[in-house]
Structures are given as structure tokens and as C-alpha cells.
Structure 1
Amino acid sequence: MNTTITSLIFTNYKFQSEGMKDLFEALSANCTLTKLNISGNNIGPDGAKIVSYLMLVNTTLKDLDISYNAIGVGALHIADSLRMNEYITKLSLAGSKMPSDGIKSIVKSLKTNTTLKKLNLDANFISGTEIQYLIKYLKTNSTLTSLSINSNDIGMEDAHLFNELLQCKHLYKLKLEETFSSPEMMKVFFKDFHLNSVLRSIYVGKNRINSQGVQCLLDNIVQSSTLQELHLNYNKIDYDGIGYVAKYLKQNSYLKTLNLSFNMFGPIGAKYISEALFTNNSLKKLVLDDNLLRTDGMRSIAQAFLVNSSLTFVSLRRNRFLDVNQTIYKSLINNYTIIHMEPASKRVKELCDRNKDVQRVLQFPKTFNFQKNCATVLEELLLVLKVKAIPKELIIIITKVVAFRLLLLPHNIYNFLKN
């Protein structure tokens, strides 16, 4: 067995439980593997039992994915091992066809497990009973920070339970894609969101919540000062709904990532987003793929790049526009923060690369391993150059030259320069 391998991926090989026996023998004594993905292999309950043994004897495995393996009642064995395991921090059990008792047993293990940080229970027909169990044990668990329960069987009658889920004090990321059947359900779930002070990331894509639903959502999260990521992809939000999003962006100074892909809100919606970007100074990542922005919409977004100084990542793929690379290029000439743009012409990529250099230089001493006194000299130099309103391209050149010279000078010269 290879003694240096740290990650092993065997997906969709269909090796079933017999193959698991061979894999167990190979991995039980391994002391380097940290990630194992065997999703989509139809290992069944017997294979799950073998995996549970592996969880007990392997002390290096931290990331385990056994999704879509039809483990069924084998979940009981996984749960037993999870109670005793002290190493795994990420576990994915999506699409496992677990019975209710299996799901409850997995959730109950959270009472004693103190290492698991991320749990994926997507597509497991979870309903109100299992949600109640989940809430009960999450309240006593202080280590699980990320929970994914996308694509489950949660009806309107169970929506109120999610208000209690939001009261879990250590949950930072929550994925609820394909969960809400109506805007009303969304409203019930998020009505007490203003009481939550820890959640940082919410995924509510693929819920078809439309404009009414997005208004309900934003009305309830607008006061949050902790939410940093919001994913609203695949929700059939038209330009009226995007108007609510734009209003939220104008008022918000905490959100870092916004995903609005696959909503088809067109050029009018793009204009609303552009106007919001003129005033928003916190958003760093914006995804607008597949929204029929067309040429006019792309030009509106490009206009915002002339003013916005916080965005670092922008994705505008598949928006049915004519060649607007020239427009984007011109808008980025004096933009020094965007370091990743999709799609991007060769010239746009060159500007993004330039901006990476800009950000490295402007973030001394974090991005360079200079001695402390050397870094201080450079920081003071940057301050002087900024106060003097020196163009950023020139700042880069000056700082690089000085940094290079400082690296070649003996220690006593540093102090001479500093004084």
C-alpha cells in the first residue's frame, strides 16, 4: 500500500461490498490518508458495515464521502462508529436511502461526537420527525458548523421547525436547496432570522421562490450583521425581484458573496445590480451566470467596475452578449481590485494579473516574508505614496524596487533607513 497518498477517490466504480473488503484491508493500516471518497458504488448495508470498521481503526481519515451508496440500515453501523470516532471532521451521506431510524441514529451521534464539523444529509427524505431530532441534538453539539439538507421531503407543516434550527448557536453554514415549495414556506422559515447572530452562509438555490419569495427572504435577513454568503441561484427571480436584491445591497455592508446565477432577469435586472454596486463597498464575489444579460446588461455591469472598489471575483458566463470585451477591458483599466473575471479575453486576464500584483503590494507585510523592521519601512513608504496620490502602477514599481533593495541590505542599514 502506498504510504504517502493522502487523498483517494473511487466514485461510480460499482464495486459493491466485495470491493469494500479489499479496500478495508488496504486502508486499515494506512497512516497518511486524510480524504476518502467512495460515493456512487452501491456498497449497500454490508459495505457500510465495513466502512464503520474503517472509521474505528483508521486514525488519520478526516474527510469521508459515502454518498449515493444505498447503505440503508447500514447507517446504524456508521452512527455507532461516529459516536466513538475522534478524527473525522467532514462526513457526506447524501442520497443514502436511510430509514428514519438510521437518520435519527446518525443525528443522535452528534450528542457525543466532538470532532465532526461538516455533515451532508442531502436527498434522504428527511421530514418533520427527523428535523425535530436534528434540532434537539444540534442544540447540545458545539462543533458542527456546516449542515447540508438539500433536496429533502420537508412540507409546509414542518417549516416552522426551521425557526428552531436557526437558534443553534454554532451553525455557520446552512444549505437548503430544493427545500421550499412556496414563498409562504420561505417566509415562515426566515421570520425569526433577525434573532440569529452566527449564521454566515445560506444556500437557498433551486427553490423557485420567485420575486415574492426573495422579498420575504430579504426583509428578514436585512438586519443581519453576520451573514456573508447568500446563494439565490436557480430561483426564477425576475427583474422586479432583483430590484429587492439591489435595495438590500445598497443597505448592506457585510455580505461578501452573492450568487444570482440562472435567474434570467435580463438587462433591466443587470442595471439594478449595477446601481447597487456603485454604493456597496463590501461585496467581493458576484456570480451572474446565465441571466440573459445581453449586451446592454453587460455594459451596465461594466460601468460599475469604474467605481466599485471591493469586488475581486466576477462571473458573467453564458449571458448571450455580443463582444463586449473591449467595454470590460476599458472599465478595468482603472480598477485595481478585480483579480478574477469570467469570461475574460487575453487583455482582461492581463489586467486581472496586474491587479493580483497590486493587491500583493498593498497588503504588506502579510503577503511577503520580510523581516519585521523591513516590513515596517515598506509600510511607511506605502503610506507616503498613498498620501501623495501617486498612481498605483507607479506605487507597485517603486515598492518592488525598494523591497528588492532592502532584501539585499545588511541588518544595520534597515535601521538607518527607518530612522
Structure 2
Amino acid sequence: EGGKSLADALCKNSTLTSLDLSVNELGSGGGKALADALCKNSTLTSLNLFSNNLGSEGGKALADAFCKNSTLASLDLGSNDLGSKEGKALANVLCKNSTLTSLNLRYNELGSEGGKALTDALSKNSTLTSLNLRVNNLGLEGGKVLADALCNNFTLTSLNLDSNKLGSEGGKALADALCKNSTLTSLNIDTNELGSEGGKALANALCKNSTLTSLNLDCNNLGSEEGKALADALCKNSTLTSLNLDFNNLRSEGGKVLADALCKNSTLTSLSLYYNFLGSEGGKALADALCKNSKLKELNLRDNNLESEG
């Protein structure tokens, strides 16, 4: 009822530009009412509907409305039980809508099919700059097609694929895309089981890419060898400013080579190495590097067993 009342108000209001209705249990009925309102409202530019149990019916109704709305620029539909069908409906929106710049779909179940549909849309859309698909079970196939889309999309600057089971093959596909893409500045592929091959491929991509400024590789089981490959990349890369390597079992060897890289790299300002078993040797090497590096502003070494010597 509350959602429907707000929807009625939106039809009449001509000044509101931002509306946050996150975590309000609007349900499919509230979603439908808001969808009707969005077809009539011409001032709202930002709408947050995170965690409202909109479901399939609410999601589809809103998708239809977004095809007609010409003012909304930022939309958050995270955690709303949206599946592959809703993913396809939203993909259709991206093919027609020319105002949306930020779309947040985190914590849904779009799956590989929903991911593929959104990918096709990215090849046609020329306004979206930020896309969050965190925890959507995209899988290897979804990751591959998204990587293909990055080769042809020239507007997206921020992409979050955290926790999507991309695997090493998905990681390699994204690495190939980074070698060709020249617009993406922020990429989050936290918790994707990238492993050795995916990590090395991404390190190679960093040697060639000249636009990415932020990369999150947290919790990907990279290991010390991949740490070395990334360290080599940091010696060559001149654009990355933020790198997250938390929970990657880099150990002392990885810490040492990253320390060497910090002596040569002059652009990185934030480095996170939380829980990597760096030990006292890795800690000492990084401490020495800090005496030579004048650009790093943030360094996270929490829980690394540095001991008194480190």
C-alpha cells in the first residue's frame, strides 16, 4: 500500500529527482505501481529499489516502464529475485533506453542466459557507464560473452563481476578483452576461482592495457607465481592506481617481488594484501620498498604473520 501511494505521488510530482526505497518489502504489486508511475514521471533521475522482493512480475513491469522513461539515469534493482527472464527483459531496455548510465543488479539470479542477453545489449547501448552484476551465477559462459562485449563496447567504465564462478577460462577471456578495451577504468573480479592461468593472463593484460585504474582480484587462489607475474606487470603498467590481492596465498616470495615492483612503479596509490601469509621476510621487503616508493598512500598488510621482524 505504501509503495502504491508513493507511485501515485510520483505521477503528480514534478520536482523529485532522487528516490531511495531500498529494503521496503514492496513486492510485485508495489513494483507494478512504480512501473506505471515511471511511464508518466519526467523528473526522476535516480531510483534505488534494492531488496524489495519485486520478483518476476515486478521486474518485468519495471523493465517495460524503463523502455518508455526518458529521464532515469541511475537504477538499483539489486537483491530482488530477478532471474534469466528478467535479465533478458532488462537487456531489451538497454537496447532502447538512451538515458541510463548506471545499472546495479547485484545479488540476483540472472545466470548465464541473462548474462548473455545483457552482453548483446552492451554491444548496442552507448550510454551505460557502470554495471554491477555481483553474485549472479553468470558462470564461465556468461563471463566469456561479457568479455566479448567489452571488445566492442566503448562507454562502460566500471564493471563488477564479483562472485560469479567465472573460473580460469573466464579470467583468460576477460584478460584478452582488457588488451583490446580502451574505456574500462574499474574492474572487480573478486572471488571467481581464476587460479594460476587466469591470474597470469590478467598480469599479461596489465602490461598492455593503458586505461584501467582499479583492479580487484581478492580471493582468487593466485599463489606466489601469479604474484610474481603481477609484480612484473606493475613494473610496466603506468595507469593502475588501486590493486586488491587479498586472500591469495602470495606468501613471502610474492611479497618480495611485489616489494621490488613498488620500487619501480610510480602510479599505484593503494595496495591491499590482507591475509596472504607474507611472513617476516615479505614484511621486511615491503618495509624497505616503502622507503623508496613515494606514491603509495594506502597499504593493507592485516593478518600476514609479520612478527616482530616484519
Q: Above 0.5 in TM-score?
A: yes
Q: Secondary structure at the match of 2:208?
A: coil
CA distance in structure 1 between the partners assigned to 2:201 and 2:210 by the alignment = 18
Q: Does 1:284 find its partner at 2:240?
A: no
- Alignment match, 1:251: 236
Match for 1:253: what amino acid?
Answer: S
CA distance in structure 2 between the partners assigned to 1:322 and 1:28 by the alignment = 63
Shift of 1:165: 1.3
Q: Which residue of the other structure, out of 105, 116, 124, is the alignment partner of 1:132?
A: 116
Q: Which residue of the other structure, out of 309, 312, 326, is the alignment partner of 2:297?
A: 312
Match for 1:21: what amino acid?
Answer: K
CA distance in structure 2 between the partners assigned to 1:259 and 1:33 by the alignment = 38
Match for 2:182: what amino acid?
Answer: S
Match for 1:83: what amino acid?
Answer: C
Shift of 1:22: 4.4
Q: Does 1:298 find its partner at 2:287?
A: no
Shift of 1:33: 5.0
- Alignment match, 2:251: 266
Q: Does 1:102 find its partner at 2:102?
A: no
Q: How does 1:397-408 map to 2 (within 5 A)?
A: none
**Higher relative contact order (Cα pairs below 8 Å, separated by 6+ residues):** 2
User: 2:143, 2:174 within 8 Å by CA — same for their partners in 1?
Assistant: yes
Cα gap change, 1:278 to 1:221, in 2 (>3 Å): closer
Q: Does 1:206 find its partner at 2:191?
A: yes
Cα gap change, 1:293 to 1:25, in 2 (>3 Å): farther
Cα gap change, 1:32 to 1:298, in 2 (>3 Å): farther
Post-superposition Cα deviations, 1:144-191, rounded to whole Å, max 9, x if no partner, equal 011122222334345442332112111111111122342133224433
Q: How does 1:18-417 map to 2 (within 5 A)?
A: 18-24=1-7, 33-56=16-39, 59-72=42-55, 73-166=57-150, 167-322=152-307
Cα gap change, 1:125 to 1:99, in 2 (>3 Å): closer
Shift of 1:323: 6.4
User: 1:183, 1:216 within 8 Å by CA — same for their partners in 2?
Assistant: no
CA distance in structure 2 between the partners assigned to 1:76 and 1:145 by the alignment = 23
Q: Secondary structure at the match of 1:286?
A: strand
Q: What is the percentage of aligned positions where both structures have the same residue?
A: 32
User: Structure 2, unaligned stretches of length 5 or more?
Assistant: none
User: 1:180, 1:186 within 8 Å by CA — same for their partners in 2?
Assistant: no
| C-alpha RMSD of matched pairs (Å) | 2.7
Cα gap change, 1:163 to 1:322, in 2 (>3 Å): closer
Cα gap change, 1:159 to 1:285, in 2 (>3 Å): closer
Q: Secondary structure at the match of 2:154?
A: coil
Match for 1:110: what amino acid?
Answer: L
Query: Once structures 1 and 2 are overlaid, which stretch shifts more, 284-293 or 230-239?
Result: 284-293
Shift of 1:275: 0.7
User: Structure 1, unaligned stretches of length 5 or more?
Assistant: 1-17, 328-419
Q: Secondary structure at the match of 1:134?
A: helix
Shift of 1:116: 1.1
CA distance in structure 2 between the partners assigned to 1:102 and 1:192 by the alignment = 26
CA distance in structure 1 between the partners assigned to 2:236 and 2:298 by the alignment = 21
Cα gap change, 1:29 to 1:272, in 2 (>3 Å): farther
Shift of 1:104: 1.7
Indicate the structure (1 or 2) with the bigger Cα radius of gyration.
Answer: 1
CA distance in structure 2 between the partners assigned to 1:37 and 1:316 by the alignment = 36
CA distance in structure 1 between the partners assigned to 2:39 and 2:130 by the alignment = 23
Q: If the length of structure 2 is used for normalisation, what is the TM-score?
A: 0.87
Cα gap change, 1:32 to 1:313, in 2 (>3 Å): farther
CA distance in structure 2 between the partners assigned to 1:55 and 1:158 by the alignment = 30
Q: If the length of structure 1 is used for normalisation, what is the TM-score?
A: 0.66
Q: Secondary structure at the match of 1:306?
A: helix
CA distance in structure 1 between the partners assigned to 2:17 and 2:248 by the alignment = 38
User: 2:172, 2:197 within 8 Å by CA — same for their partners in 1?
Assistant: no
User: 1:290, 1:316 within 8 Å by CA — same for their partners in 2?
Assistant: yes
Match for 1:129: what amino acid?
Answer: E
Shift of 1:232: 0.5
Shift of 1:126: 2.2
Cα gap change, 1:233 to 1:34, in 2 (>3 Å): farther
User: 1:44, 1:69 within 8 Å by CA — same for their partners in 2?
Assistant: yes
Match for 1:112: what amino acid?
Answer: K
Cα gap change, 1:164 to 1:188, in 2 (>3 Å): closer
